[in-house]
């Protein structure tokens, strides 16, 4: 498959094989088949879990890679019983009541004995006897929900989509009307509900949750009673909301332009495109020209193909450069509206050579249909921004790439083929944001560009209000010690803030 056309013919790299420690592939003899273990990765980390699984298998234990109905014993580390139950509930096993929920101490004692040992009280997870009912679990979960998204784990699975979708519509409408307070309130509430391991079934379930104001509770109550909110229905039928939603779907069109077009009487994109008096920016012209492509979701495969093409070009100039796919795809989303790539180089200053050389190469290969370079405005003498939504000052390129599709099916008749050629092209336009960062700031840039937006907003708010620090995509400043805190990875940033590390795929706030 020719993804990028003949001008960019670079052999696709084969993905390196990752060693899988699955039970089905294990070469170790199973001595204790009646005990089926699952070791939770939560709060443990991948490396330690992999080591413990391999150790157990070498001792003759049957250990599953994934949580299955065959599992009899769940082993956790630094997790309470309620936390484990909440996680198990989200996994939707047929019957969790039969499971033994055990502390890692039971596993290590088994390893020492070389066989499964009798379960004692010291091996039970904390407060196990008090957390078996669903109601108690929900009450305890609600009491422990932090007001900050950076202290909540939010996977892609959303048990409360009916509510959060409604909140997002209302938040968007408030944003279109420049009403920042209620907009933020609904987005915070949506973020909280996304993190819950259970579905809201009654108003009692939201008691004790942060950011549940009266207006938000009224919307929840309406949905619980009638499966929809009259307030949401009203917004969806509102002419201004529908117009703004349509206008902002065009690449390069923001709220100010949408307001202007709405006040001029425009309601459809066709009339805007046909009006000769309107002066569109270069970005907006590209947005209209490739509109159908750009509103089509970008798949994970397309993102990886673009990422590979960018790497191949960048590595011709700087073989040691790092090119990282960030944004929603790093959070394990399968689709997105664009592709964010973070580029750096371990050799100080070398990253400044990358962008313009790469653009020249892509122009020669006819891979760019639009690009706009924003040069760096970073000033290392300035402190991190106090604004939670502040943009960073890195060198950037907002581009539209050509991603070539499969060649036309040769089985199609010549006549049909000619007709297809007149109506279609063999490539898709895809939005790509390239961000160039100095290596010393890479960890902070990676954290910031991974998102989600609400997670990053709360991370900065937490730094300011709870730690007397200032955080942005460039640095972390401790106002008490009056020093910048260095970090070589995201884990160190979380440690500076006194936060438990949260994996990228648990930041979908």
120 and 229 inside one domain = no
Q: Specify the CATH number for the domain of residue 91.
A: 3.40.50.10190
What pLDDT is attached to residue 406? 57
Catalytic site residues? 338, 340, 433
Closest CA to 324 of 155, 489, 449: 449
Rounded to an integer, the average pLDDT of 179-195 is: 95
64 and 103 inside one domain = yes
| Separation between Cα atoms, residue 309 and residue 397, nearest integer Å | 16
Phi-psi region of 282 (alpha: psi -120 to 50; beta: other; left: phi over 0): alpha
- The rounded mean pLDDT for the chain is 86
Joined together, the tokens standing for residue 189 give 């509430």
Statement: residue 65 has pLDDT above 70: yes
| Separation between Cα atoms, residue 413 and residue 123, nearest integer Å | 70
Statement: residue 252 has pLDDT above 80: yes
Rounded to an integer, the average pLDDT of 318-328 is: 96
Q: Max alpha carbon distance in the chain (Å)?
A: 83
What pLDDT is attached to residue 411? 31
Statement: residue 357 has pLDDT above 80: yes
- Please give the backbone phi and psi of residue 153, each rounded to the nearest 5 degrees, phi first: -95, 120
Statement: residue 12 has pLDDT above 60: no
Angle at which helices 453-467 and 180-195 pack, to 10 degrees? 100
Kindly report, residue by residue over 407-434, the tens digit of the pLDDT: 333 333 443 443 344 357 899 999 999 9
| Separation between Cα atoms, residue 396 and residue 321, nearest integer Å | 16
Domain end among 98, 114, 137? 137
Kindly report, residue by residue over 150-159, the tens digit of the pLDDT: 999 999 999 9
493 and 360 inside one domain = no
Statement: residue 386 has pLDDT above 60: yes
158 and 42 inside one domain = no
What pLDDT is attached to residue 481? 94
Closest CA to 252 of 404, 347, 372: 372
Statement: residue 377 has pLDDT above 50: yes
What pLDDT is attached to residue 24? 39
Counts for the chain of helices (H) and strands (E), in that order: 20, 14
Annotated binding site for Mg(2+): 338, 340, 433
Rounded to an integer, the average pLDDT of 350-355 is: 93
Angle at which helices 46-58 and 104-113 pack, to 10 degrees? 30
DSSP labels, 383-440: PPPS-TT-----EEEEEEEEEE-PPPPTTS-HHHHHHHHHH--SEEEEEEEEEE--GG
**124 contact partners, CB below 8 Å, separation of at least 6:** 81, 101, 102, 103
Q: How confident is the model at residue 17 (pLDDT cuts 50, 70, 90)?
A: very low
Joined together, the tokens standing for residue 477 give 């400043």
- Structural domains in the chain (count): 5
57 and 108 inside one domain = yes
| Separation between Cα atoms, residue 391 and residue 407, nearest integer Å | 40
Domain around 177:
151-236
Q: Specify the CATH number for the domain of residue 187.
A: 1.10.150.110
């Amino acid at each position: 498959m020719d993804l990028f056309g003949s001008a960019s013919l670079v052999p696709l790299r084969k993905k390196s094989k990752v060693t899988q420690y699955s039970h089905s592939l294990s070469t170790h003899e199973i001595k204790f088949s009646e005990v089926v273990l699952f070791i939770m990765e939560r709060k443990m980390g991948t490396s330690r879990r992999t080591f413990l699984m391999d150790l157990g298998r070498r001792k003759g234990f049957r250990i599953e890679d994934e949580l299955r109905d065959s599992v009899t014993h769940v082993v956790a580390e630094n997790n309470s019983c309620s936390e484990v139950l909440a996680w198990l509930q989200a996994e939707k096993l047929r019957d969790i009541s039969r499971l033994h929920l055990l502390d890692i101490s039971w596993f290590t004692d088994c390893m020492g004995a070389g066989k499964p040992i009798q379960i004692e009280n010291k091996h039970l997870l904390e407060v196990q006897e008090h957390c078996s009912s669903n109601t108690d679990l929900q009450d305890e979960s609600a009491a422990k929900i932090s007001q900050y998204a950076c202290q909540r784990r939010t996977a892609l699975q959303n048990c409360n989509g009916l509510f959060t979708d409604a909140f997002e519509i209302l938040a968007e409408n408030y944003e279109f009307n420049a009403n920042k307070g209620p907009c933020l309130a609904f987005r915070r509430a949506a973020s909280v509900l996304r993190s819950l391991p259970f579905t809201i079934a009654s108003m009692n379930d939201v008691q004790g949750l942060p950011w549940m104001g009266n207006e938000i509770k009224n919307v929840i109550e309406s949905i619980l009673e009638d499966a929809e909110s009259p307030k949401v229905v009203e917004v969806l039928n509102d002419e201004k909301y529908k117009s703004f939603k349509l206008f902002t779907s065009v690449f390069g069109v923001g709220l100010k332009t949408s307001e202007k077009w709405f006040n001029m009487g425009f309601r459809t994109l066709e009339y805007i495109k046909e009006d000769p008096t309107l002066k569109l920016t270069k970005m907006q012209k590209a947005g209209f020209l490739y509109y159908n492509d750009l509103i089509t979701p970008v798949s994970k495969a397309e993102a990886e193909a673009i990422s590979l093409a960018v790497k191949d070009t960048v590595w011709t100039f700087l073989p040691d450069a790092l090119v990282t796919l960030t944004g929603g795809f790093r959070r394990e989303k399968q689709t997105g509206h664009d592709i964010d790539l973070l580029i750096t180089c371990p050799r100080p200053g070398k990253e400044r050579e990358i962008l313009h050389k790469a653009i020249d190469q892509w122009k020669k290969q006819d891979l760019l249909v639009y690009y706009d370079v924003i040069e760096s405005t970073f000033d290392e003498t300035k402190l991190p921004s106090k604004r939670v939504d502040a943009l960073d000052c890195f060198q950037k390129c907002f581009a539209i790439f050509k991603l070539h599709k499969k060649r036309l099916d040769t089985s199609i008749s010549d006549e049909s083929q000619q007709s297809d050629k007149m109506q279609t092209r063999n490539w898709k336009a895809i939005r790509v944001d390239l961000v160039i960062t100095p290596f010393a700031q890479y960890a902070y840039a990676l954290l910031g560009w991974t998102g989600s937006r609400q997670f990053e907003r709360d991370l900065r708010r937490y730094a300011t209000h709870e730690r007397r620090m200032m955080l942005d995509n460039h640095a972390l400043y401790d106002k008490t010690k009056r020093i910048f805190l260095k970090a070589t990875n995201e884990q160190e940033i979380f440690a500076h803030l006194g936060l438990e590390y949260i994996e990228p795929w648990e930041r979908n706030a």
